[in-house]
A and B are shown apart, each in its own frame.
Chain A
Amino acid sequence: MTKERILTDGMIAEIKAFFPRYPSLQAVTLPALHVVHDHLRHVPMQAVVEIAELLELAPAEVQDTLTFYGFFKQDAPHGRVRAWVCRSISCHLRGADELLEHMCHKAGVEPGDTTEDGKLTLEFGECLGACEHAPCMLANDDLHKSVTHEQANQFIESLE
């Protein structure tokens, strides 16, 4: 049984560019997982096998690292926008729980889920290091500061 290769030549080149930075190939595990995750919005099992091959590791070693970090999706890609609503103390004190609940209702998902149209994955996050802007949300690379329910609605409605 031959499976089609998941890692493109471009991804492999990106991963290999990390090799000279570390004295061990295993240290390239997180960078490699990030490369694949950036491109595919998840790291399917087959990609784990291929990363392991590149890094001369057992697939189980890569999988072991992957599963430790709640960050990497495996079964299905996350939405085109992945949003973390902070739930830690400074944001909690300024309405984070209500904000997350409001957004879940508005988007019709439970925390951690992706909308059916694939536009949004909505998750809780722990302290995003932006507590002066509580309650806050990181959506892809954009930090949303002191988010009101009104702004949250606009954010969800504007998703493409």
Chain B
Amino acid sequence: MTDFEPVLLANIDRDDSHTRAAYEATGGYQGLKKVLGGMTPDDVKKLVKSSGLRGRGGAGFPTGLKWTFLPKDHPGPIYFCLNADESEPGTFNNRILMEEDPHQVIEGLIISCFATAATTAYFYMRYEYPLAWKRVQQAVDECYEAGYLGEDILGSGYSLDIFLHRGAAAYICGEETGLIESLEGKRAWPRIKPPFPAVEGVFREPTVVNNVETAACVKHIADRGAEWFKSIGVRPDPDNPRDAGSYGPKLYCLSGHIEKPGCYEAPLGITVNELIDQYGGGIWKGRKAKCAIPGGISMGLLTADEFDCSLDFAGPGKYGCLGLGTAAVVVVDETVLMVDFLHNSSQFFAHESCGQCTPCREGTSWALKMMNRIKAGKGRLKDLDLLLEIGDNLGIIPGTTICGLADGAAWPLKNAIRKFRDEFEAYVKETNPDGYMETNPVPVLEIIGAH
């Protein structure tokens, strides 16, 4: 691990790292010049495909493959949406890239647009990133001045505009078709797929949606080549024909009960233990860990015994988690009650469900009502079964909802209760000694305010 040199975060310690001057002084826009100077869009698609790059936004879909789903020889327009809605609890790597090294993202975005023949890109950024907004806008302006954007970029005949588009504080705008609906000026209700955005996306035209960190990786692949990218990370599991491998550097976000929270770059496939010990300085206050979120709250939970889990695309799934997600690790120490953890998680999803699918709308708010009741000392053993029933039936995976927010709501329920059942049962029995065996319907508690 120690001989790994950061690439994505290589320059962020410079005070002026967000400026074009600093970016160009460290080799910035050479990749773009190389691409526009002699490669065809197909060459770039092939390059990215052969690098094995998988999307960093949460689903881990192979980027080059996604680009090939666009219709061939389409007369245009093709749109590119850069997903900078980053709202998955625990996740902040896109913010760091945009604040500290926005040109890296933009160079990757321009190359990605060239590869996909997109001539308009919308940079969809969540509202709560005022500094990133300012820095990216400045960087885009600098690119127009330098001729990296606009008409006939660097004399190549290729033209591209990038427009920033500001969100309005809704997690669901990060789901790619929710983003598209939001961009069109509507409520951010995810679309039923197919058709996938590559076939029919924003303004009913073919559309690519990629994450900010994915774009940054594309820039480095253009600079250093596919072989370099493949020399980092984890090879596909030979026993699993569907594993596409986990190549490249990754930005891990580390927060919660950790000595040194932060965003750390490491090869895909370091373990939770390595991340905590070698980067995070250990659990805070000399305490022990109880569990950790492996990749944003939607991914579920690893118990402290499972911290040898490799943080690659195939890793967390082996421990019953949903996946690697955003690689945002949130560490929870031994003093935390799982009831409090699950209450917080349920509160998030009940608040952020867009309300379109009944199982998600009702399931997330029902789960929160039960967690309110359990937390208030009125819980029943039956509630634990009901929570699991909700968890097992909620999401795209069981086939009951339109988008993956619901799977993300389900996983913390399933993992927390299955992995910490004894603790939940003991809590319910202790706090509700007279009523924990009740199995008849019980009334909802009054909403408890913040006081």
Contact = CB atoms under 8 A, between A and B. Distances in A.
B111 interface: no
Contacts of B293: 89
Contacts of A33: 168
Interface stretch (B11-19, B50-58, B341-349, B392-400): B341-349
B262 A132 contact: yes
B91 A131 contact: yes
Given A69-B169, A70-B170, A89-B341, A131 B203 contact: no
B92 interface: yes
Interface string A40-65: 00000000000000010000000011
A111 interface: yes
Contacts of B163: 21
B182 A23 contact: no
B351 interface: yes
B450 A89 contact: no
B236 interface: no
Contacts of A127: 87-91, 348
A119 interface: no
A143 B188 contact: no
A34 B340 CA distance: 36
B184 A88 contact: no
Interface in B103-145: 126-131
A26 B90 contact: no
B443 interface: no
Interface stretch (B26-34, B150-158, B252-260, B376-384): B252-260
Contacts of B197: none
Given A71-B127, A125-B128, A125-B169, A30 B185 contact: yes
Contact of B168 (A34, A55, A131): A34
B128 A128 contact: yes
Contacts of A24: 184-185, 203
Nearest to B335: A93
Contact of B253 (A26, A105, A131): A131
Interface string A1-36: 000000000000000000001111011111101100
B431 to A, nearest CB: 18
Nearest to A132: B261
Given A68-B188, A105-B451, A127-B88, 16 more contacts: A24-B185, A26-B186, A27-B185, A27-B203, A28-B185, A69-B170, A88-B348, A89-B341, A100-B450, A101-B450, A126-B352, A129-B92, A129-B129, A130-B95, A131-B92, A134-B256
27 contacts: A27-B184, A30-B182, A31-B165, A64-B187, A65-B187, A68-B188, A70-B169, A87-B344, A88-B90, A89-B90, A89-B297, A92-B344, A93-B330, A93-B332, A100-B450, A101-B451, A125-B169, A126-B348, A127-B90, A129-B128, A131-B89, A131-B256, A132-B92, A133-B261, A141-B130, A141-B131, A143-B131
